[in-house]
Structures are given as C-alpha cells and as structure tokens.
Amino acid sequence: MPLELRMAWRNVWRNPRRTALTVAATVFAVVLVMVAVAMGAGTHEKMIEDSVRVNAGHVQVSGPGYRAKRTLEQYLPFDEQTAQRLFAAEGAVGVAPRITSFGLLSQAGATRGVAVVGVDPLREGSVTTLPGRVREGRFLEAEGVREVVLGGRLARVLSAGVGDEVLLYSVAYSMESAYELFRVVGILSLPEATMDRTLAVITLRDAQEFFVYGDRVSEVAILAGDSGAVPALAGAVRRAIGEGSAEVHTWRESMPELEQLILLDDAGMYVMLAILVVVVGFGILNTILMAVLERKREFGVVLALGLKPRAIFTIVYLESLLLALVGLAIGLAIALPLILYLQAHPIPLTGAAVEAMALFGIEPEATWKLKPLNPLGSILTILGVAIVAALYPAAKASRARPVEALRSL
C-alpha cells in the first residue's frame, strides 16, 4: 500500500469517535438519499403507469390536428392492417383504437354532458385498465349492440343502474343530429373524479355508426412494455404509420400536467436532499479541518523530513475520500436491500393521501423502484461532497511552513 494511503487510512481512525460520528452522518445521508430517490422513481413510475393505463397509453396516434381541436373532423383511417403494423412496432405490447367525442346523456329527468368514448372491447384491455374497473355489471362485449358503461359518479347523478336505458344525443361527423338509446351494462369505478363524473363508454362499432364515422377513429392508444422505451416506441410508430399522415404523441405531450407534477415533486425532493448533502459536507469538512489543525506540528515534522507539500495535500484528500467511502459502503449495504424489500412490498396509503392520489387517478400506494442511476448518483454525490469539503483543509495543511508548524505547540 502506498505510504500516503497507509498514513491516510490510519489517520482516519486516530479519533474513532469523531470518525464514527461523521461516518454515521454519511450513512444516514446515503440511506435517506437513496430511499427518497427510489421512492420518487417508484411513485412517479406508478403515477405514469396508472395514468396511461386509465387514459390513452404511452403513445397515441391520431389524425393531423386532433390534439389541438379534438373534434370528429380530425380522424385517422383505421383497419386491421393498421392495427397489425402498429402492434409490430418495437416495444408495443397493446394497441387500442378509439373514438372520442362529446354528447348529452339523459335518463329520466336528468341530463349530463359526457365524454363519449368508443372502444374495441377485445383490444381495450391490452392498453387500459377500463375493463377491470367495472364495479357493477360487466364491461362491453364485442357482440353487444348499443350497450354503454358509465362512470360511477355519472351513473349516480343520472340515477342510472345496470339494465336501465339512457338516451345519448350528439352531433355526427355528417353534422346531423345523432341520438340513440343505449342500455347500461356496467358501472365503472374510476380513480379520477372528473373522469368518473363524465365518462360514457360504448363499443367502437356503435360509435362509428352513431357518429356516421365509417372506418375512421379519433386515435389509437399504444402501450409500451417498459415506460423507459417510450421514446423508441414513438419513433417506431412514426416509421410504421408514415410521416405526415398522422400525429404521434407520447404521454408527456398528452398529459403535460402529469409531467409538470413529477418535475415539481422531483424539484422539492432534490432541494431537501441537497440541504442534507450540504450538512454532511460540513460534517466532513469539520472532521478533516479539526484533524488538520490538531496535526499542525506533525505536518511541520514531515515537511522538515522532506515530504512535499503536494503529498500532504494528497494525504488530507485521501482521508476525506476514505471517510466518505466508509460511509458510502455502509450506506449502500443498508440502502440497497432496504429498497429492494420496499420495491417488492409497496405500502398502502391511508387518510388524506388516498384522496390526493385519487385526484390524479393513482392507486394509493407508496412504491419504490431502484434504478441503476440511483446508487451511482449517490456515490458520485457523496464523493463530490468529500472532494469539495476536503479542499480547504488540504490546502491549509499543504501550505504550512515547517518552522511555523513546529512552533505551533
């Protein structure tokens, strides 16, 4: 072992209590940073997954101008070949066409404005969780005719139950009035209140007939096997569908408020973690500075013996890095298994958190996800802090003049 490293390692343990306290602070910071970052990653991924599985998948293909106007005028021709081409795009695990429009729904004396969504009952489950969210009755069937599934709150305000008939009014693509009776076959329980209050789901075939839409659809929702592969999937979909004939958007574009929420959440978390890391940095600075001041005479001796100031700088720097490395090693040994356990065992949330998360259509669970950048980022952050914290003490030690250092006691 080189002399500098040997001396630095032994110096670190000269005051075991002080070293233990600094190491403990570093361990605490590493564990807290890693667990918090993993919780952020897990929660955000769940937010994205839950949102895309309730809404329109990771990637949406729609007619030109649909996203801006959202009317029946912006359409996408859709047939089985298109479905196969999109499904073959690399990274796609589900493809679901849909028609989205607006209308009025009446039952007895009550009328409400609704978002009418026409879905393919056989394909919808491959992208969204709508079929699984039926709390009463059943979801739409491929052979069913003029059947509708309503959001729970919508059914309640209309006083509509399974088996009741409701009247849907709207304007067709041909600009003629469209109205038809639909039988309620199921009631949904949706986590997002607005959606639960306004959603009426009918089959794609009924929607195409009702809106006189032929084989057109409003958009095709595509689910990615891995949320990290969304940009690649969007590219593959663009290539599959052909430039200019359709618009391709990812969830980031279709749900910008979700992305902003995640960014805001990340910003708050990183500010807190930065404060923690700065506190740890001052802990390391304090320990190294104390050690340097206590050893002023010793530095004078080694300078007198011929050790170069640069070597003293190296020794003090190594002490800081070793201190940080010990804390990192212990911190990683605690944090990694803890995060892996939490990742496998999400914690159900209760109280106000449930309502807050329901606003965004998210299952009320605290979830963790360990990403490779998490431990790597923590290691680099703590080492960076140790490097910065050691700068002043190391410079101070290396600038000592031997005669002054020897006179210091």
Site residues (vs another protein, CB under 8 A): 3, 6-7, 10-11, 14, 297-298, 301-309, 401-403, 406, 409
Smallest gap, in angstroms, from Cβ of residue 391 to another protein? 20
For the chain, what's the residue count?
A: 409
Smallest gap, in angstroms, from Cβ of residue 409 to another protein? 8
For residues 41 and 374, what is the distance between their CA atoms, to the nearest angstrom?
9
Q: Which two tokens stand for residue 357?
A: 């998360």
Q: In the complex with another protein, which residue's Cβ is closer, 69 or 308?
A: 308
The amino acid that residue 291 corresponds to is A
Are 24 and 331 contacting, i.e. CB atoms less than 8 angstroms apart?
no
Are 218 and 98 contacting, i.e. CB atoms less than 8 angstroms apart?
yes
Q: In the complex with another protein, which residue's Cβ is closer, 377 or 402?
A: 402
Smallest gap, in angstroms, from Cβ of residue 10 to another protein? 4
Smallest gap, in angstroms, from Cβ of residue 42 to another protein? 45
Q: In the complex with another protein, which residue's Cβ is closer, 241 or 291?
A: 291
Alpha carbon 179 to chain centroid distance?
A: 41
Q: In the complex with another protein, which residue's Cβ is closer, 144 or 309?
A: 309
Alpha carbon 358 to chain centroid distance?
A: 16
What DSSP designation does 133 have?
G
Smallest gap, in angstroms, from Cβ of residue 313 to another protein? 13
Q: In the complex with another protein, which residue's Cβ is closer, 220 or 400?
A: 400
The amino acid that residue 135 corresponds to is R
Smallest gap, in angstroms, from Cβ of residue 5 to another protein? 12
Smallest gap, in angstroms, from Cβ of residue 403 to another protein? 4
Are 370 and 38 contacting, i.e. CB atoms less than 8 angstroms apart?
yes
Smallest gap, in angstroms, from Cβ of residue 341 to another protein? 40
Measured CA to CA in angstroms, residue 185 lies from 129, 188, 201 at distances of: 17, 10, 10
Q: In the complex with another protein, which residue's Cβ is closer, 135 or 297?
A: 297
Q: In the complex with another protein, which residue's Cβ is closer, 7 or 394?
A: 7
Smallest gap, in angstroms, from Cβ of residue 305 to another protein? 5
Measured CA to CA in angstroms, residue 293 lies from 153, 310, 396 at distances of: 70, 18, 9
Q: Which of 285, 230, 294 is nearest to 93 (CA)?
A: 230
Helices (H), 62-185: 66-69, 80-87, 121-124, 152-158
Q: In the complex with another protein, which residue's Cβ is closer, 69 or 297?
A: 297
Q: In the complex with another protein, which residue's Cβ is closer, 90 or 298?
A: 298
For residues 166 and 158, what is the distance between their CA atoms, to the nearest angstrom?
9
The most distant pair of C-alpha atoms in the chain lies apart, rounded to whole Å, by 100
Which SS3 state, helix, strand or coil, does residue 138 take? coil
Q: Which two tokens stand for residue 331?
A: 């911190």
Which SS3 state, helix, strand or coil, does residue 304 take? helix
Helices (H), 202-308: 204-210, 230-241, 251-254, 256-294, 296-305
